[in-house]
Structure 1
Amino acid sequence: MVTAATYYPYIAIIGDIKDSRKLEHRGTTQQKFTRTLERLNQVYQKDLAAKFTVSMGDAFQGLLKDASHLMVMLFELELDLAPIELRIGIGLGDIETEINPENSLLNDGSCYHRARAMIEWIEKSEKQYEQRHSNILLSTGGQAVHYEKLINTIFSLESVIKTKWTERQKEIIRTYLANEKNQYMTAKTLNIGQSSVNKALKSTDFYTFNHSLDTLQNVLNEL
């Protein structure tokens, strides 16, 4: 078993907004984008080696020193920004510069190179009819190929599930998570019946999706 402390001391996350130029109210979208990243910086500050930083208004990057909350972090990011769609590249590896904890854009190393390569791969796959599609991909630089294939296959399957969710279903899921997975509190917050919450969670295959997140996190913890 390989360990992150030995082989992958850092995890770079690079993302961008899909079709950002086509978005209406871009100014409002960028403000929401910035607020969401600021919240992640606050909530997960202990996991971060460098804060999530906005780049060019519609892209971002951050650096983790601890991947133990990576999956829930990324899922919260996607839900908070809905209906905005993201591409996210994850790279495991080293840092070759002195780390600037306040500005991830000033850091560089193999983990960033791998994350950027995954963004490019996602963009390329979107243009190819028969390629499998995923909005999140991870690279270990070929050092843990079997883990990498397993993780990216699950990311692809999760993408299939997520693309079928309506904005209302995403709102219910987001509220459900914010209420510590309590259906009754979720219903009260949204002023709907508990049965409506239960129906939404089942119809979205949320429980299967959530199990896949847990599985992914367990696999990542072994890297």
Structure 2
Amino acid sequence: MPYLVLIADLVASRRTRDRQALQHRLKTELAALNERKPGLTSPYTLTLGDEFQAVFGRADRVFADLVGLLGVLHPTRIRFSLGLGAITTDLNPDQALGMDGPAFYAARDGIGHLKSSGDLMRIEGLPTEDATLANGSLRLISQRMDKWHANRFAILHGLMSECSVQAIAERIDISEQAVYKNIHSGGLDAVIEVLSALTERLNRQLADRD
């Protein structure tokens, strides 16, 4: 019975000028994400320091959540490791704590890879033929994202949330022309296609739980 475990941490947060304000923003954003219950088996939970984790029954919201966090906490970099697999302990619906199993081991392994590679996102636990393509794609996306400003993340998040260009422009107070320019310059349509395809692959694996 597979689940999707997210383990994430803020990169070099201890060197942030105002770490307390950063931690407050992180707590606020995680609380907002937890208000949206669908898909969450166990909510976003702060663990050690600036690390947090969550458990998902479906992957539909996962990448939009990650993009949203990258935008809100920009320029702080965040590593996101997704581990697909079983959870061998009882599920905790109140906090993503006190659980264990292959999904957690996979996510923890992914964090180790990200620390070595410097990338932002990785998936562990997919079949080999899917894993190579998935992580190669995420590596390319990570390299693009390292050059983005906060608005581009906000635009991508808005598009992934099916907001109109007009609504996105009004929300971040830029022109619609500037939104379209970001979509083109950032290759956002292609990024969405890749993340949607990865979501479908993850959901196929998670469907084996039913």
TM-score strictly above 0.5:
yes
Cα offset, 1:168, TM superposition: 3.9
CA contact (8 A) 2:88 2:101 kept: yes
- The residue number in structure 1 matching 2:109 is 117
Q: Does 1:91 align with 2:51?
A: no
Cα offset, 1:194, TM superposition: 1.9
Q: Does 1:138 align with 2:116?
A: no
1:113–1:82 Cα change, 3 Å = same
* Rg (Cα) greater in structure: 1
Q: Does 1:199 align with 2:181?
A: yes
- The residue number in structure 1 matching 2:195 is 213
- The residue number in structure 2 matching 1:101 is 93
Q: Does 1:182 align with 2:182?
A: no
- The residue number in structure 2 matching 1:74 is 66
Cα offset, 1:146, TM superposition: 0.9
- The residue number in structure 1 matching 2:5 is 12
Cα offset, 1:179, TM superposition: 7.8
Of 3, 11, 14, 1:21 maps to 14
CA contact (8 A) 1:161 1:209 kept: no
Q: Tell me how far apart the structure 2 counterparts of residues 52 and 193 of structure 1 sit (CA, whole Å).
A: 34
SS in 2 for 1:165: coil
Q: Tell me how far apart the structure 1 counterparts of residues 128 and 103 of structure 2 sit (CA, whole Å).
A: 15
Cα offset, 1:12, TM superposition: 0.8
Per-residue CA deviations over 1:11-41 (Å, capped at 9, x if unaligned) read: 1100100011111111110011111111111
Amino acid at match of 1:115: A
Structure 1 range deviating more: 26-35 or 193-202 = 193-202
Cα offset, 1:80, TM superposition: 2.7
1:94–1:25 Cα change, 3 Å = same
Structure 1 range deviating more: 73-82 or 194-203 = 73-82
Q: Tell me how far apart the structure 2 counterparts of residues 199 and 69 of structure 1 sit (CA, whole Å).
A: 26
**Identity fraction in percent:** 27
Q: Does 1:169 align with 2:169?
A: no
TM-score (norm 1): 0.83
Amino acid at match of 1:136: M
Structure 1 range deviating more: 158-167 or 32-41 = 158-167
Cα offset, 1:96, TM superposition: 1.7
Amino acid at match of 1:188: E
Amino acid at match of 2:132: K
| Unaligned stretches of 5+ residues in structure 1 | 1-7, 127-133
Q: Does 1:154 align with 2:147?
A: no
Cα offset, 1:218, TM superposition: 2.0
TM-score (norm 2): 0.88
Instruction: Number of aligned residue pairs: give it.
Output: 205
